[in-house]
Amino acid sequence: MVPCGVGIILAVLTTACAAGNGAGAGSEPGQDAKQEASRMSMVSEQIEARGIKDEGVLEAMRRVPRDRFVPPELRDQAYHDTPLPIGHRQTISQPYIVALMTELIEPKPGMKVLEIGTGSGYQAAVLAECVDTVYTIEILPELGRAAAGLLEELGYENVRTHIGDGYDGWPEHAPFDAIVVTAAPASIPKPLLEQLTIGGKLVIPVGEYSQDLVVVTRTEDGYERRPASYVRFVPMTGKAQEQR
């Protein structure tokens, strides 16, 4: 995934993680039974079996139709345990990684979350099932516009999209209770740290080739950092390349 969405600003709708916002897969008319069965198997065999325990996150993964967020020719692979190309040299993340990153922010009703790297919009949709408001930024206009349109079509009224460089975050709407980054910078952008609330968490892949997925928590005294997993994301582009 990578950075986002332009000028399409969607209204805020309060949601709860366990209940979802009513806009995901469960409410899509004409839901394909085969895709739904594949999605249930994905959650039980790839995600729950690998240690994801947050029931709200698991329910979000059951609800969001990943097949809608991949190119039509790849929909038969939508629930495989793998990232998939979405064009423009970008990918939709492996389902387990989406679930892991969501669980790591400890999502709760009432939270305001920033995502850097909208990509296809899948991570934003999963987050939107779990928190009140998602702000998401995409650096590639074609991806940002497509994701914004799809999220609107699926009814995710609690997602606000923007096209731009996510390195500096979205200061107009800061602070955020959590920030999820789906592209890897060589080092953690300082503006993102500064836009966290006290107690807020930043989940970000860091590194140039294989990367550490890092969780940074803002405290009263500074920041606490811990590694969560080894991952492989596309590099963060734009200003992040100038900071290498």
Residues annotated as catalytic (active site), given as ranges = 93
DSSP 8-state code for residue 152: H
Phi, psi of 228 (to 5 degrees): -115, -30
List Cβ<8 Å contacts ≥24 apart for 43-51: 46/81, 46/95, 46/96, 47/95, 47/96, 47/99, 50/96
- CB count within 10 Å of CB 164 equals 17
Which residue shows structure tokens 């085969």?
A: 34
Using DSSP, state whether 169 is helix, strand or coil: coil
Can you name the residues that pair with 133 across neighbouring β-strands?
A: 112
Q: Are 57 and 130 in contact (CB under 8 A)?
A: yes
Return the C-alpha torsion angle 90, 162, 10, 149, nearest 10: -40
Among candidates 160, 187, 155, 163, which has minimal Cα distance to 176? 160
Contacts of 55 (CB under 8 A, 6+ apart): 18
